[in-house]
Each structure stands twice: as structure tokens, then as C-alpha cells.
Amino acid sequence: MKARVSLYVRALLLLLALGVAVGCSKAPNDAQLASDIQTRLSADSGLQGKQLSVQSANGTVTLSGTVDNENQRQAAARY
């Protein structure tokens, strides 16, 4: 009985350690974040030809530029 409880406790501790390790993964830096979003915007057929700029500071992304309508604005904001 004690061996079974010990096994459950060890399994629980292992799962907890794995959860912490996964949750602490490193966030992308600002340059990588801006580059990834710019790539996605450029690949969106509904936004091609639009001059959209992407800036990132401390994980906060700012998009600037001009689009033709609200649908395009919302499409850009999704990224």
C-alpha cells in the first residue's frame, strides 16, 4: 500500500515538473515576433499590395499602414 502511494506521489511530482518546464518556455524576441507577423501579412492574399508595417516592443505588436476597408483591417489584426 505504501509503495502504491509513493508511486502516485512520484508520478504527480513528475507531471508537475513537466508542466512547469512546458509553461516556462521562452517567448520569441521582438525582432522575431515582428518578422513572423510581417511574413504572415505578406502571405495573405487579401492584404497583398498593402503597405503595412509591423513593430514590436516588449511583446506588444503595433501595425501601421493603410487598407481599403474594415475587412482588411480585421484581417491584418488577426495576426
For 66, phi then psi, to 5°, come to -130, 135
- Give me the DSSP letters along 10-24: HHHHHHHHHHHHHHT
pLDDT computed for residue 65 by the predictor: 97
Q: Which residue has the cell 511530482?
A: 13
Q: What is the pLDDT along the chain (79 residues), one digit of tens a residue?
A: 666 655 666 766 667 666 666 666 777 899 999 999 999 999 999 999 999 999 999 999 999 999 999 999 999 999 8
Strand partners, 53: 64
For 63, phi then psi, to 5°, come to -105, 140
The domain segmentation of the chain, as residue ranges, is: 2-77
Name the pTM for this structure. 0.63
